[in-house]
Structures are given as C-alpha cells and as structure tokens.
Structure 1
Amino acid sequence: MTTHHSPDDLSDFAELMSHEQEFAEGRGRLPPEVRRARRRRAGIVVSVVILVILATIGGYTGWALTAPLSPPTGTWSAPPAPAPAAAAIALPTEGASAISISGADAYLGAEASGIWASSGTNEPRSIASISKLITALVVLEAKPLDGAGDPGPTITFSEADHDLYDEYYARGATIAEMPAGSSMSLHDALAAMLIPSASNYAEAVSTWAYGSQGAFLRATRGWLGAHGLTGTTIVEPTGMDLRNVSTPADLIALGKIAAAHPVIAAITGAASFSHPTIGVMTNTNNLLGTEGITGLKTGNLGEGSYGLLYTAMLGVGLPERLSVTGVMLGGSSRQSLGSDVVELLASIRGGFRQVPLASTGDRLGSFTTPWGESAEVAVADSASIFTWSDTPITVTVDTRTPADYADGEVIGTITWTAGPNTASADVHIVGDIAPPTEWWRLTHPAELLAAGEPRS
C-alpha cells in the first residue's frame, strides 16, 4: 500500500532536516521543536531497551522457578547377614550313645528322626535292667491291657514267687516285697518291675504270662525278630546276666516302641509307685522332668556299666516340643551318666536360637540434594529370625524409587531367610527433603540446566 503525504508535511520535514544540517555543521542552535523530537526518539529507544531487558528477565525467572530439579542422590544397602556360630553338641565321651529327634526335620534334616547323632560304636553292649522294658512289652503281647488306666488281670503270687525275693536279694539285685498268697493287678506288677526295677517281679510276671521261662524266652526272641531288633539278645528277663545285650541303634528303636505304648509310657514316666504290699518306691530314673525327660528305663551292673534309655519332650522355642529318644551305655557312674545326658539335651536346646538381624533405626544410607537438603535411610522395624546352629542366613532386598522423599516414606524391604523361616523389615526415609528456595533457583542456573540434560 502507498502512503501519500500532503505538501505541508513535506515542507515541515524539509525545514526540520535543514535545522538538523545547520546544527550538525555548527552554524546554529537547534530550535525547540527539534530538541523535543530528539527527546521523544531517545525515550522511545530507552523504553524499547528496558522492555527487551524486562522481557528477558521475566522469561528467565519463569524458567528458573519452574525448571525440573535433579532428584536427590544417595544409596542404601542392607546390613550384612549374620553368621551364627555352630552349636557345640555335647555328645558323651565315654561309652556309647545315640539320639533321635522328631519334629525338627526342617532344621535338622529328615535323617534326624532316625539316628541324628551318636558317639562310640554300635556294637552290642550289656544293657542291664533296660532288659525289663523288653520283658514288659513281651508280657503285654500275651496279656494286653486296655490303656494306661486298665488294671488288667490279678496275679496271685505263689511260694515259688516269694522265694525269688530271697534269690535276687542274695544276688544283690533290686527287689520288692512279694509275700506268698498276696495278689496284685498286672498293671501294678509291671509298675513294680519298671519303676523301682524289682528283678523278682520281672521273673515272676514273665513266668505267670507264659507259663515258664523257656516259653517266655521263645516269645521274646520272636518279638525281637518281628521288630527288627537283630542286634539285641535276651537270655533272662531281669538284665542281671551280662549276655543281655543290645546296640545303641536297636535301643533307639526299642525306645520308640515303648514310648508309643500307653501303658509303658505312663508307668515309666511316673516318679514313684505306691502299693499296700510293697509301700512307696521311687523311680530309678532320677532325671525325670530334667530337660523335658519323660522316661524310660535305667540299667546298672556296677561301675562302668551304667545305662539309660530315655525319652524327652524338648522345648527349643518352636510351637511344639521336639520328641527325643536317646540312649547312653557304659557310663562310669550314675552321676556322670546323668550329667552327660543333661548336657547333651541342653546343647541341642541351645543350638536353636533367635538371631537378631536389625534394630529399629539402624542407619543404612542417605540422600542429598544440590541445594543442601539431606535425609537418612533407616530400618523401620526390628527383625530377628529363628534358626538352628550355623544354618546360613541369606538376605535379599526389594527397593522402590522414593516418590516424595518424605519422612517415613517406605522405599524398600529387606528379607532374610534361614532354613524354613523368613523375616523382613521395611526401610524408610528419616527426615524430609524440602524443595529449594526461589532464590536458590534464580541463582543456580547451571544446576537447573544440568537437571534438564538427558540422562544416558
């Protein structure tokens, strides 16, 4: 489009340019209207420059106040898994022993319910009055009782039975009164045989059950064979004969058979026995109740031949007690044998433990920001794990990128595993990471630019 100027406009412009020329040549002073025009033009230039500057500052400010920030930097790691020391199992150092443990296969292995640990050899040894346990089981094969509360048939003792009292007294055996013509229930006769370990009752009751000792011994051999006790030999019912022998492995099996029999288990678990004929008699197994021991039978043929076939319900910290069957043969004394058995059970119990893993507040790492804020990373909850001996403990970590970096925000979980058990604890942020101030944003463009750069 063409702009048209009037003759007056052109005349004024020419006059203005003429005055400018004269002033430039030093031939005159600018008239007022020229000076005013100059001031207008200068003001316009200054205004434009200011606007440009303000626009630039405004754009920077808007960018700086809204530019993305680099996330906090830092790391955290789980504490190292502890390495528990191996349990020191106190197996007896004298004689021979074996132990079987049921109820802890997940910790000890499935083989624990067979023979878990042993010492000495598995050769046959004299078993002394442990023989009476076999005698009682064989008698109950011929004359079964209907549970622990059944007294069973009545036995009336003859003059020959009474003579056994004097015979075994002369041999130095444990005996109990048995007057000729007196009577007793089978249950009580078995109790007299097993609790105080009266040898005269062992022979009298076994003869009564089978009619003769020959018939009893034949039945005993058949019973041993039927139960696979091939390492066991019984030549008489009391254990006074050194030829009554068995192996630790056979005795573990025998102990399980006896413990499963309600009559035998109840009798051998009683601390004492009282009867009008024989009075009150104490169980020869003085370990009953110690370390959970519940039975079964002692054996003693003098120094160097003390033995004990025992059962125990051992509390180790699991919901259910462990079922233990153990045997020790060849103890030098009753005291040393008892001490060895108790120490063995205590060492097994002590091998099960709660291992501490982490405590609430344990510091694991930290996060920091370019603008000077920081927060720590810590364990949110204490944790421990139940395990056996030196079972390895492994640790895994599940991490999450923090969303707000706020106090208490959970950013991961630590999980520990040992055998069949696991334990876990959350990991959280301790302390808040506040955003930067506006002043920091306006005065740290380099950090803001770095935050916006693409990350490889």
Structure 2
Amino acid sequence: MFLPPARRPRTVVGVTALLLLVALGIVVTLVWPGPGAVRDHGVSSPRTDAGRPAAGEGSDVAWPGDGQSAVALEGRGSLGVRGERRPVPIASLTKVMTAHVILTGHPLRPGERGPRIEVDRQAAHEVGVGGESTVPVRAGDRYTERQLLELLLIPSGNNIARLLARWDSGSQEAFVLKMRRAARDLGMTDTTYTGASGIEVTTTSTAVDQLRLARQVMRNPVFRDIVATRTVTVPGAGPVSNTNTLLGTSGVIGLKTGSSTPAGGNLLWACEVRVGDRDLMMLGAVLHQRAGTTAGEGLRAALDNSRALIDGLRGRLASPRSEG
C-alpha cells in the first residue's frame, strides 16, 4: 500500500536524519577519547601514529612497579607514563629548577665561568647542619657562578642551593617565587616549589612535570656539560663524585638524583640512543622509589630501576620492530 503523497517527504527526512545520527555516532566513537585515554597535560599517549604500541610498550621493557615514571624521546614524543600521577616529594631534583632559574637570569656561554660569588656566613654555617647534603665552604671564599652550579648539581649541596638563591634574589623566599613562575611557564601544573634545595617535603611534583623540565634544561649546553661531569674538585676538600652513578653507562649523559625518606629515590636521567641511522636523546623521570625507607635505599632503587628501564627501551628502540 502506498503512503499518501503528503507524508512521503517526512518519511524520507526521518530516514535521512537517522542515517546522519548513526554516522555521527560512528565519528564520535572514532575521535572522542574514551575513559582510558591518556591525558597528561600535553604528554601524548604512548602510541604510534599508526596505532601500534610505542617503543616503550613491549613486555621486554622493565617499567618500575613502584612510584611513577615517564619517558620521552626527543623529536618523537612520549614513550610512556606509569604509576599514580599525583604530586610527590622530589627532594634534590628541586635543584634542577634552581639551576634553570639561575642560568635564565645569569646565562653562561660554553667555557664561561661567570661572576665570582662570595660565600656568606649562612652557607658556611650550614655545612655543619646534620641530615642534609652540604658542600664544605668557608665564609669569604669566592667561587664563580659555574663552580657553584657544579657544586649544586654534582655533589648536590643544599647550602649551595640556598646561597645561589640569596645571591640571585636577596632571599630564598623571593627566589622560590621565580621558581614557581618558571614552572608555570613550562606548563608544570602539578608542581609546587617551596625551597631551593628540596629539603622541604612540601616541594612536590610528578614524573610528567619533571620530564618537561628535563627537556628544557638539556637544551642548555652549560647545564648539559655540568650534569655529564663525573667528579668535581671542591677547594680544600678534594674531588667529590656525582651522585648519578649511571653516568657513562647505558648511554647515560645526565641528569640529577634526589632522595630522602619521604621522597624515596628519584632520578631524572638523559641518555643517548641509536634509532635507525640517528643518535637521539631519551629523557626519563623515575620518582618515589621505596619511599618511607632510607634515602640510601630509595636512591639505589631509583638507580637500579632506571638502569633496567633505560636498557629495555634502548634495546627496543634499536631493534627493527621499533622503526616506522
């Protein structure tokens, strides 16, 4: 039976509308991220453009089961993010931002030593303070900016961090405001700085945020050269070793350790990796390892777990299956 002519157009419109809704539903399904999508303030999901698992997704990669981790390959993006993405204490990783703010306000070119800075009484007095990582300095001694950055980043002197903060801004409190502005400018929305050294448990961040900072500072050749240095000589105290014992192994060329009982062990690392016919830099942040134990135990865990992660990723990136 035929429908009356007046009703035919309405039926056609209804069918057309239904088909449009179905089509739209398919489009939404394809492009709208589901509840499991990665949303890390700009860190992309660990997937290749073709939809295959990224290089860091294989079962042969030993991601730390503790704390949180994030890794990126320069020029290629995120290789993965693991663990809870909540701010945790970062201990001496704080000094990476301290160095970044100093080098931003007082830039050095490769080979430059910078202005000479006098050690004040407070920095000298803090050498005797227990429970902190400090560098032996004497009031009235003068060090170049480059020397103090070395003492900040290699043996990780808390007293040096606060000395640099006072030299730059007059007080540590004023310097912290600069640190917070720098973090905001880098999009580190889950980071809070409350001191220049990291001794405060209220200085917190995430692996994703620290990875953002690592990518920024490793573009500075002076910073990059310092964090690749294995030992530095402290006048009157002799040579001291870099706390990052992975340097020179597994392609590691930096970055910075941080450890305390509340923070556990933390490591920002940078390494070189061969991908096809190119040498690229891979950067990672491994945070909150064995928190609640001792600073030494946490740091050993951060170093060991980072080494396993680096070796797994380097092997996978170098294999033919990681190409394309």
Counterpart residue number, 2:242: 283
Counterpart residue number, 1:143: 106
The runs of 5 or more residues in structure 1 that have no matched partner are 1-85, 106-112, 355-385, 389-418, 421-456
Counterpart residue number, 1:116: 79
Matched, 1:162 2:124: yes
Counterpart residue number, 2:310: 345
Q: What is the distance in 2 between the residues matched to 1:353 and 1:154?
A: 45
- Identity level (%): 29
Counterpart residue number, 1:320: 278
User: Which contiguous aligned blocks of 4+ residues in structure 1 show a shift greater than 4 angstroms?
Assistant: none
SS in 2 for 1:152: coil
Q: What is the distance in 2 between the residues matched to 1:259 and 1:342?
A: 19
Q: Let me know the Cα RMSD of the aligned residues.
A: 1.8
Counterpart residue number, 1:29: none
What pairs with 1:364-443 in structure 2 (closer than 5 Å)?
386-388=320-322, 420=324
Instruction: Judge which range, 128-137 or 321-330, deviates more.
Output: 321-330
Aligned-residue offset at 1:336:
2.4
Counterpart residue number, 1:234: 193
Residues 189 and 241 of structure 1: is their aligned pair in 2 closer, same or farther, counting only changes over 3 Å?
same
CA contact (8 A) 1:292 1:315 kept: no
Residues 158 and 349 of structure 1: is their aligned pair in 2 closer, same or farther, counting only changes over 3 Å?
closer
Q: 2:219 aligns with which of 260, 270, 275?
A: 260
SS in 1 for 2:321: strand
Residues 352 and 153 of structure 1: is their aligned pair in 2 closer, same or farther, counting only changes over 3 Å?
closer
Matched positions, count: 260
Counterpart residue number, 2:15: none
CA contact (8 A) 1:87 1:348 kept: no
- Per-residue CA shift, 1:98-117, capped at 9, x if unaligned? 111135x4xxxxxxx1x221
Which amino acid is the alignment partner of residue 98 of structure 1? A
SS in 1 for 2:250: helix
CA contact (8 A) 2:273 2:280 kept: yes
Q: What is the distance in 1 between the residues matched to 2:126 and 2:217?
A: 26
Larger radius of gyration: 1
CA contact (8 A) 1:269 1:295 kept: yes
Aligned-residue offset at 1:87:
5.2
Q: What is the distance in 2 between the residues matched to 1:301 and 1:328?
A: 14
Q: What is the distance in 2 between the residues matched to 1:184 and 1:277?
A: 13
Aligned-residue offset at 1:195:
0.2
Which of the two has greater strand per residue? Answer: 1
Give the TM-score taking structure 2 as reference length. 0.76
Which amino acid is the alignment partner of residue 160 of structure 1? Q
Aligned-residue offset at 1:253:
0.4
Q: What is the distance in 2 between the residues matched to 1:137 and 1:278?
A: 27
SS in 2 for 1:118: strand
The runs of 5 or more residues in structure 2 that have no matched partner are 1-57, 291-297
Q: What is the distance in 1 between the residues matched to 2:173 and 2:223?
A: 24
Q: 1:292 aligns with which of 223, 245, 251?
A: 251
Q: What is the distance in 2 between the residues matched to 1:212 and 1:304?
A: 25
- Per-residue CA shift, 1:314-353, capped at 9, x if unaligned? 235x222231110111112333222211111221233246
**Higher RCO (Cα < 8 Å, 6 or more apart):** 2
Q: What is the distance in 1 between the residues matched to 2:272 and 2:189?
A: 28
Q: 2:289 aligns with which of 322, 331, 348?
A: 331
Aligned-residue offset at 1:304:
6.5
